[in-house]
Amino acid sequence: MPVTRIGLACDPQAALDKHNGDNPVASPITVGVIANPASGRDIRRLTTHASVFPTAEKANMVVRLIAGLGALGVDRVLTLRDRTGVAALLLRAIDTHKATGTAERWPEVEFVDLPITDSVADTHTGTAHMVREGVELIAVLGGDGTHRAVAAHCGGVPLLTLSTGTNNAFPDMREATVAGMAGALVASGVVPPDVALTRNKRLVVRCVAGPNRGREEIALVDVCVSRQRFVGARAVSEPSDIESLFLTFAAPDGIGLSSIGGAWAPVERTAPHGLHLTFALHDEDGFAKRDGGPDEIPDGVPIFAPIAPGRIDQVTMRTCERFEPGDWLPIDARRGTLAFDGEREIEIGRDDRYEISLDWSGPLTVDVSRTLRFSASRQLMREMAGASMRALMQAKTHAK
């Protein structure tokens, strides 16, 4: 748990001392940064109106993030190398920052020396490495899929979430500078974990019979049983493909599959339960199939939902029930695919049996708004600015 890892977490004054350099024995405050170079480029650029998220903007976001982290006391950032340019652009920005002698305090940035596979394995191994290195938190730039990949390996290290993907329900869409400031306040222990951090729900799917027996996957927002037989291009973009849906939360102003639940029965992230929805099969025109002919009343409720950027589609919901934590529910599917946070990942074989459960063991995330409100209520920015000014004056006096 981060409470024990952040040594001065519950004492803002002591943490401020550490931040201001009054505690010489303190180890450098280290934050991990994972920016998924592949996010924002999948087939949804074609099937929906999702935009490409350029590498240059991801790198810019990392720069703005570390500016926020550095200004409020983070000493060291660990980040990953990649072959698509995010790391290269970041390196260039760091060189420029050093060359221009800007007064802004940036942390030392270390690129973790791990093999690059250009796959999700890079995120998994990178996260595990950062946890071993003892980072105080991991800032994640990506979509729901990237956050899911980090959450699977981050243990008790909290995440600072930033959206750069496509259908993002889990990460925050906000300015990276501000996120960096909040991240620094949390990493340095100036804002205590019980104020700054939120525990998230997660869905756990486990295979209990068949060749994949023992396999376990998690999702942070949704698990979809898709009628598509193969993983293919991964994204779930067609409403007619959706057989059933399990949700950890369902925001009415969300985008993606969880918006279906949000349109019918919104569930807060903090609510004690999730949702389980099932859907009718659609015909080629997008209407619920009616075996008894066109006069038959369709079996379900038609709902409009923004299942992807620029795509408001109709689904026909048959059932919608609360999904309570702790229960293991068999997934009633003999074929099709299982999608996690919007991406098909498992092809279901005839002998496969899967179960699903909801629990509160999802990652801790930084609540940026609450963190900065706490900071304002304690005038922490004034304290830090004053300390910084005093340090500068002392340095000038010493120089004379």
Partner 1 sequence: MSNQLSREKLLEAYRLMRTIREFEERLHVEFATGEIPGFVHLYAGEEASAVGTMLHLNDRDYVATTHRGHGHCIAKGVDVHGMMAEIYGRQTGVCKGKGGSMHIADLSKGMLGANGIVGAGGPLVCGAALAAKLKKTGGVGVCFFGDGASNQGTIFESMNLASVWRLPAIFVAENNGYAEATSSTWSVASDNIADRASGFGMPGVIVDGFDFFAVHEALGEAIERARGGGGPTLVEVKLSRYFGHFEGDAQTYRAPGEVQKLRDEKDCLKRFAERVVRAEMLSSDDLVKIDADVKTLIDDSVVKAKAAPLPTEADLLTDVYVSYP
Query: Which stretches of the chain bind partner 1, using CB under 8 A?
Result: 37-38, 41-43, 45-47, 52, 54-55, 83-85, 211, 227-234, 238, 240, 284, 335, 347, 349-350
Spatial neighbors of 383 by CB under 8 A, at least 6 apart, are: 16
- Rank residues 9 and 50 by Cβ distance to partner 1 and give the closer one: 50
- Rank residues 179 and 280 by Cβ distance to partner 1 and give the closer one: 280
Spatial neighbors of 242 by CB under 8 A, at least 6 apart, are: 224, 225, 226, 227, 236, 257, 260, 279, 315
- The tokens describing 309, both together, are 């950027």
* Coil, strand or helix at 251: coil
Least distance in angstroms from the C-beta of 190 to partner 1: 37
- 70 touches 105 (CB < 8 A): yes
Least distance in angstroms from the C-beta of 87 to partner 1: 11
Helices (H), the chain: 2-5, 12-19, 44-47, 55-71, 86-100, 120-132, 144-151, 176-187, 193-196, 258-264, 368-377, 380-399
Least distance in angstroms from the C-beta of 47 to partner 1: 5
Least distance in angstroms from the C-beta of 211 to partner 1: 8
Cα 72 to Cα 46: distance, rounded to the nearest angstrom: 41
Least distance in angstroms from the C-beta of 348 to partner 1: 9
- 343 touches 307 (CB < 8 A): no
- Rank residues 46 and 389 by Cβ distance to partner 1 and give the closer one: 46
Least distance in angstroms from the C-beta of 233 to partner 1: 4
Least distance in angstroms from the C-beta of 44 to partner 1: 8
* 365 closest CA partner among 206, 254, 249: 249
- Cα 151 from chain centre: 8
- The tokens describing 272, both together, are 């004690």
* 220 closest CA partner among 238, 251, 198, 247: 247
- Rank residues 164 and 240 by Cβ distance to partner 1 and give the closer one: 240
Cα 16 to Cα 27: distance, rounded to the nearest angstrom: 14
- Rank residues 30 and 226 by Cβ distance to partner 1 and give the closer one: 226
Spatial neighbors of 234 by CB under 8 A, at least 6 apart, are: 42, 43, 339, 343, 344, 345
- Rank residues 134 and 232 by Cβ distance to partner 1 and give the closer one: 232
Q: Which residues face 80 on adjacent strands?
A: 112
Whether the CA torsion 278, 281, 284, 289 is positive or negative: it is negative
Instruction: Report the largest interatomic distance among the alpha carbons of the chain, rounded to a whole angstrom.
Output: 93
The C-alpha angle 30, 32, 37, rounded to 5 degrees, equals: 155
- Rank residues 54 and 272 by Cβ distance to partner 1 and give the closer one: 54
- Rank residues 194 and 284 by Cβ distance to partner 1 and give the closer one: 284
Least distance in angstroms from the C-beta of 144 to partner 1: 18
Cα 38 to Cα 52: distance, rounded to the nearest angstrom: 10
- Rank residues 348 and 372 by Cβ distance to partner 1 and give the closer one: 348
- Rank residues 52 and 385 by Cβ distance to partner 1 and give the closer one: 52
